[in-house]
Amino acid sequence: MGDAGVFNHKHIIALRDLSADDIRLLLTTAENLKEINSRDIKKVPTLRGKTIINLFYEASTRTRTSFEIAAKRLSADTVNISPSTSSSTKGETLSDTALNLLAMKPDIIVMRHNVSGAHYFLAKRLSCSIINAGDGAHEHPSQGLLDMLTMKERFGRLDGLKVAIVGDITHSRVARSNIQGLTKMGSQIFVAGPPTMMPPGVERLGNVTVCNDMREAVDGADVVMMLRIQLERQGKTLLPTMKEYSRYYGLNRETLKLARPDAMVMHPGPINRGVELSSEVADCDQSHILNQVENGVAVRMAMLYHVCGGGAVEAG
Partner 1 sequence: MGEAGTVILDGMGVRRSLTRIAHEILERNKGVEKVVLVGIRTGGVHLAHEIALRLEEIEGGTVPVGAVDITMYRDDIKGHSPHHPVGKTDIPFSLEGKRVVLVDDVLFTGRTIRAAMDALMDHGRPSCIQLGVLIDRGHRELPIRADFVGRNVPTSLKESVVVTFDADNKPIDVLLEKEER
Partner 2 sequence: MNLLITGGRVIDPSQGLDGIVDLLIVDGKVSALGEGLTAPAGSRVIDAQGLIVTPGLIDMHVHLRDPGLEYKEDIISGTRAAAAGGFTSLCCMPNTKPVIDNKTVASYVVNKARAAGFANVFPAGSITQGSKGESLSEMGELKEAGCVAVTDDGRPVVSGELMRRALEYARGMGLVVISHAEDPSLAADGVMNDGYVATELGLKGIPWVAEDSATARDVYLSELTGSALHVAHVSTKGSVRIIRNAKARGVRVTCETAPHYFILTDEAVRGYNTNAKMNPPLRSEEDRQAIRQGLADGTIDAIATDHAPHHKDEKDLEFNLAMNGILGLESSLPLSLRLVADGVLTLPELVEKMSCAPARILGLSRGSLEPGSVADITVIDPELEWTMEAEKLASKSKNSPFIGWELKGKAAYTILAGKIVTARG
Query: How many CB atoms are closer than 10 A to CB 125?
Result: 13
In this structure, are residues 97 and 88 in contact, taking their beta carbons and an 8 Å threshold? yes
Does the active-site annotation cover 63?
A: yes
Question: Which of the following is catalytic: 140, 152, 176, 306?
Answer: 140
For residue 173, the one-letter residue type is R
310 binds partner 2 (CB under 8 A): no
Question: Which of the following is catalytic: 89, 90, 93, 105?
Answer: 90
For residue 127, the one-letter residue type is S
Residue window 142-181: x/- pattern of binding to partner 2, with contact defined by CB under 8 A: ----------------------------x--x--x-----
130 binds partner 2 (CB under 8 A): no
Does the active-site annotation cover 233?
A: no
The binder of 202, among partner 2, partner 1, none, by C-beta within 5 to 8 A per type, is partner 2
Q: Outline where 75-160 has alpha helix (H).
A: 94-102, 118-125, 141-155
DSSP H or E run through 49: none
DSSP H or E run through 157: none
Work out how close the CB of 308 gets to partner 2 at its nearest, in angstroms, rounded to a whole number: 25
In this structure, are residues 103 and 48 in contact, taking their beta carbons and an 8 Å threshold? no
Distance CA 246, CA 251 (A): 8
The binder of 136, among partner 1, partner 2, none, by C-beta within 5 to 8 A per type, is partner 2
Taking CB under 8 A as the criterion, the residue among 70, 118, 161, 189 binding partner 2 is 118
Distance CA 265, CA 267 (A): 7
Query: Which C-beta is closer to partner 2: that of 37 or that of 116?
Result: 116
44 binds partner 1 (CB under 8 A): yes
Distance CA 15, CA 178 (A): 8
Distance CA 108, CA 94 (A): 16
Interacting stretch for partner 1, rule CB under 8 A, among 29-37, 118-126, 195-203, 235-243?
Answer: 29-37
In this structure, are residues 197 and 169 in contact, taking their beta carbons and an 8 Å threshold? yes
Q: SS3 of 16, please?
A: helix
Query: Which C-beta is closer to partner 2: that of 23 or that of 122?
Result: 122
Does the active-site annotation cover 112?
A: yes
Does the active-site annotation cover 105?
A: no
C-alpha dihedral, 298 to 303 to 306 to 307, nearest 10°: -150
Omega into 268 within 30° of 0, i.e. cis? no
Work out how close the CB of 113 gets to partner 2 at its nearest, in angstroms, rounded to a whole number: 7
113 binds partner 2 (CB under 8 A): yes
Taking CB under 8 A as the criterion, the residue among 64, 140, 288, 306 binding partner 1 is 306
**Interacting residues with partner 1 (CB under 8 A):** 3-8, 10, 25, 28-29, 31-33, 35-36, 39-41, 43-47, 74, 107, 129, 302, 305-306, 308-311
Active-site amino acid positions: 62-63, 90, 112, 140
**Interacting residues with partner 2 (CB under 8 A):** 16, 93-95, 113, 115-118, 120-121, 135-139, 170, 173, 176, 199-202, 204-205, 315-316
